[in-house]
């Protein structure tokens, strides 16, 4: 049954009356799917396969000289006489050219038509251009950032923050409900130690001024005084015991440390354009849920006693032996993570849960997920560790302990210096401090997201600030430049501009690249790699630069100027949306 209805009566123009129904096609959100659907349906008529199957085999052509869309014929697995495809398939108003090169069958879209459909769509969707609803009804939890109170916020936490936020945004962009969770390291004997330290070295005033830094200072001092002083250690243990037993005075101090730290973190996160739905932490996991899990593990003979401690032997799975409870009955990081995930499932009934944590904790998460599986939890396969490699050389100039705030200050200053090198431009920037902050943060984030997550990289203070090459400043500059065209051209965006006038190769390349954005959002959901998006926007920005060199808006005859302006506007919307997806704030001027 041919789903594409062609109307041959119209002077030989093949007009398509209704689109073929294809399972994976998202005609509403992805306008390239219209063209793919039509091609799939055309082929299916002769291939003895459904359009659904063929749709999956279509690829974006790697050689635009030959066409926009391609299919490798051997993948159709046809038997019988060879088909003369070029003769059988008749071009129509959507697909203007069909050709064969070796094993490949190539198709070319009608460009004025794609441009018209696409730009009307973007004009309607604006900041929602690119997203889809494929995950509607599904929900996920993302555990990310998760620093430890009174310890440095190190590069691993920064990566977790950036990558976790991205994973969250990508899910939202694919129609999921996403809950962002900050699981603070806020429990354990070291908080007893911190309290003891605060009595000795603390200052109420300093605490209010900069809680994170002050608590760290106190922690370092008290740690140093432990040496040769077993008394301090004993006191810390006793203090933490009081906390675990719910002693109100002990808990009040700890709560104050925690709340002040969270408040300060929230300010810094806001600067990074990030917020959390929930501030949780190891302290929030109830004893009851941990014990419930431990009992199941004991009953099922998965956990066993060993020298008074409770362990799970996972050597069979090459996952070592996991310790769940110490001799004195206290629990561990892993035990709390077991309790935490059970509580989270009870609360959210998530379809997926992600932990954005460095690959140094690979074993920890493998153990956690394996233990869930052994417990007989049927949703164990919804858990995923979003791992990433290390960053070398992220420290401030003074080389002191790393606080996120200091890194961001340093970045802003350095960016400011770079900006000052161009006196003329610098003098035109309204709010240089704000702009330096945003570009600086973009520099850090793009540097972090340019390669596969698992790769280690070195923090490069010089390279990441460059306006050339694949950097954050380059992307922000491209965005600001597109904004300035809109501001300065003296024309309004006209959604009914005559797009038939966009005939140059670079205009066609640009439209084609813009049209691929919904595909990229979809594939980012599978890779969960920020570089999927970064690579795309780099390509988009390169085409924008090339196009801007030859296709002017200003000084061009009005009709053509309006068509080009609409195209650049769509490029700006797409770039801005992609930057936001990565967690950046797109700049309008810089």
Binding site residues, ligand ARG, CB under 6 A: 143, 146-148, 183, 185, 337, 355, 357
Report the residue closest to ligand ARG, judged by CB. Answer: 185
Query: Nearest Cα to 323, choosing from 286, 183, 331, 315?
Result: 331
Which lies closer to ligand ARG via its Cβ, residue 217 or residue 337?
Answer: 337
DSSP calls for 245-297: TT-HHHHHHHHHHHHHHHHHHHHHHHHTT---SEEEEGGGS-HHHHHHHHHHH
C-beta neighbour count of 539 within 10 angstroms: 14
Ordered alpha helix ranges (H), 333-449: 333-348, 362-375, 404-420, 423-428, 432-449
- Cβ(577)–Cβ(129) under 8 Å? yes
**Residue 73 or 158 having the CB closest to ligand ARG:** 158
Per-residue tokens: 289 = 């849920």
Rounded to whole angstroms, the Cα distance separating 345 from 320 reads 26
For the bound state, the minimum distance from the C-beta of residue 18 to ligand ARG, rounded and expressed in Å, comes to 50
Toward ligand ARG, which CB reaches closer, 183 or 388? 183
User: How many Å apart are CA 84 and CA 86, to the nearest integer?
Assistant: 6
Asked about 151 being catalytic, the answer comes back as yes
**Shortest distance in whole angstroms from residue 134 CB to ligand ARG:** 27
In the set 56, 121, 138, 151, the catalytic residue is 151
Closer Cβ to ligand ARG, 216 or 465, answer by number: 216
Q: Closer to ligand ARG at the Cβ: 185 or 518? A: 185
3-state secondary structure of 99: strand
Q: Sign of torsion, CA 524 529 533 538?
A: negative
Q: Are 476 and 438 in contact (CB under 8 A)?
A: yes
**d(Cα 32, Cα 25) in Å, to the nearest integer?**
9
Known active-site residue 157? yes
| 146 versus 447: smaller Cβ distance to ligand ARG | 146
Let me know: does 585 contact 575? Beta carbons within 8 Å: no
Least gap, CB of 35 to ligand ARG (angstroms): 44
Least CB distance to ligand ARG at residue 110 (A): 51
In the complex, minimum distance from the CB of residue 156 to ligand ARG, in angstroms, rounded to a whole number:
7
Q: Note whether 251 and 257 are within 8 A (CB).
A: no
Q: Taking the complex as a whole, how short is the minimal distance between the CB of residue 306 and ligand ARG, in angstroms? A: 24
In the bound state with ligand ARG, the residue whose beta carbon lies nearer, of 67 and 185, is 185
Nearer to ligand ARG, 120 or 528 (CB): 528
Query: Least distance (Å) from ligand ARG to the CB of residue 339?
Result: 11
Catalytic residue among 157, 168, 264, 585: 157
Q: Distance (Å, rounded) from C-alpha 530 to C-alpha 451?
A: 8
Nearer to ligand ARG, 337 or 448 (CB): 337
Cβ neighbors of 139 (< 8 A, separation 6 or more) are: 176, 177, 178, 179, 348, 349, 350, 351
Q: What is the phi-psi region of residue 145: left when phi exceeds 0, alpha when psi lies from -120 to 50, beta otherwise?
A: left
Residue 21 φ/ψ region, left for φ over 0, alpha for ψ in the -120 to 50 degree band, beta for the rest: beta
| CA–CA separation, 136 and 133 (whole Å) | 5
Annotated catalytic residue within 31, 154, 214, 370:
154
- CB-CB contact of 531 with 582 (8 Å): no
Among candidate residues 171, 125, 94, the one with its CA nearest the CA of residue 28: 125
- Nearest approach, Cβ of residue 136 and ligand ARG (Å): 27
Q: Which is nearer to ligand ARG, 130 or 147 (CB)?
A: 147
CA distance 94 to 38: 8
For 10, which DSSP code? T
Query: Which tokens belong to 275?
Result: 């917020």
- Three-state DSSP at 72 gives strand
CB atoms within 10 A of CB 380: 16
**DSSP letters along 399-424, please?**
-----HHHHHHHHHHHHHHHHHTSHH
Q: What share of the chain is helix, strand, coil (3-state, %, to 5)?
A: 55, 10, 30
What is the closest distance, in whole angstroms, from the C-beta atom of residue 183 to ligand ARG in the complex?
A: 5
State the minimum distance, in angstroms, from the CB of residue 185 to ligand ARG: 4
Residues annotated as part of the active site = 151, 154, 157
């Amino acid at each position: 049954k041919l789903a594409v209805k062609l109307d041959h009566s119209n002077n030989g123009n093949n007009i398509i009356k209704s689109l073929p129904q294809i399972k994976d096609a998202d005609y509403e959100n992805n306008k390239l799917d219209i063209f793919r659907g039509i091609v799939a349906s055309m082929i299916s008529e002769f291939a003895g396969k459904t359009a659904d199957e063929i749709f999956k085999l279509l690829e974006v052509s790697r050689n635009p000289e030959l066409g926009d869309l391609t299919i490798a014929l051997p993948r159709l697995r046809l038997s019988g006489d060879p088909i003369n495809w070029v003769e059988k398939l008749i071009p129509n108003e959507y697909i203007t050219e069909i050709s064969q090169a070796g094993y490949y069958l190539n198709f070319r879209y009608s460009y004025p038509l794609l441009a018209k459909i696409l730009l009307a769509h973007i004009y309607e969707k604006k900041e929602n251009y690119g997203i889809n609803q494929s995950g509607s009804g599904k929900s996920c939890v993302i555990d990310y950032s998760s620093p430890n109170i009174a310890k440095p916020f190190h590069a691993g936490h920064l990566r977790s923050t950036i990558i976790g936020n991205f994973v969250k945004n990508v899910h939202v962009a694919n129609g999921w409900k996403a809950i962002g969770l900050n699981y603070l390291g806020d429990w354990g004997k070291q908080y007893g130690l911190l309290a003891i330290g605060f009595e000795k070295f603390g200052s109420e005033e300093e605490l209010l001024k900069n809680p994170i830094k002050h608590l760290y200072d106190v922690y370092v001092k008290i740690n140093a005084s432990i040496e040769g002083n077993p008394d301090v250690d004993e006191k810390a243990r006793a203090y933490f015991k009081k906390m675990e037993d719910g002693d109100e005075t002990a808990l009040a101090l700890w709560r104050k440390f925690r709340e002040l730290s969270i408040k300060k973190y929230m300010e810094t996160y806001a600067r990074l354009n990030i917020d959390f739905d929930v501030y949780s932490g190891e302290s929030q996991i109830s004893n009851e849920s941990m014990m419930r899990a431990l009992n199941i593990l004991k009953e099922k003979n998965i956990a066993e006693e060993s020298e008074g401690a409770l362990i799970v032997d996972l050597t069979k799975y090459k996952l070592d032996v996991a310790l769940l409870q110490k001799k004195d009955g206290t629990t561990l990081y892993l035990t709390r993570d077991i309790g935490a995930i059970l509580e989270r499932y009870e609360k959210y009934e998530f379809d997926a849960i992600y932990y954005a944590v460095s690959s140094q904790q690979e074993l920890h998460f493998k153990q956690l997920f394996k233990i869930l599986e052994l417990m007989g939890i049927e949703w164990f396969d919804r858990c995923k560790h979003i791992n990433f490699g290390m960053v070398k050389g992220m420290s401030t100039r003074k080389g002191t302990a790393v606080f996120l705030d200091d890194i961001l200050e340093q970045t802003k200053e350095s960016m400011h210096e770079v900006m000052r090198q161009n006196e003329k431009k610098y003098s035109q920037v309204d709010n240089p401090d704000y702009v330096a902050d945003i570009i600086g943060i973009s520099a850090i984030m793009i540097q972090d997201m340019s390669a596969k997550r698992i790769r280690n990289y070195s923090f490069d203070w010089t390279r990441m600030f460059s306006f050339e090459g694949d950097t954050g400043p380059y992307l922000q500059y491209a965005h600001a430049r597109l904004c300035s065209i809109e501001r300065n051209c003296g024309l309004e965006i006209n959604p009914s501009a005559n797009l038939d006038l966009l005939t140059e190769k670079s205009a066609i390349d640009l439209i084609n690249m813009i049209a691929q954005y919904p595909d990229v959002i979809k594939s980012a959901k599978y890779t969960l790699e920020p570089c999927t998006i970064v690579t795309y926007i780099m390509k988009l920005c390169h085409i924008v630069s090339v196009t801007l060199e030859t296709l002017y808006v200003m000084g061009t005859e009005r009709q053509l100027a309006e068509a080009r302006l609409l195209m650049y506007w769509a490029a700006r919307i797409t770039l801005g949306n992609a930057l936001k997806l990565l967690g950046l704030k797109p700049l309008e001027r810089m």
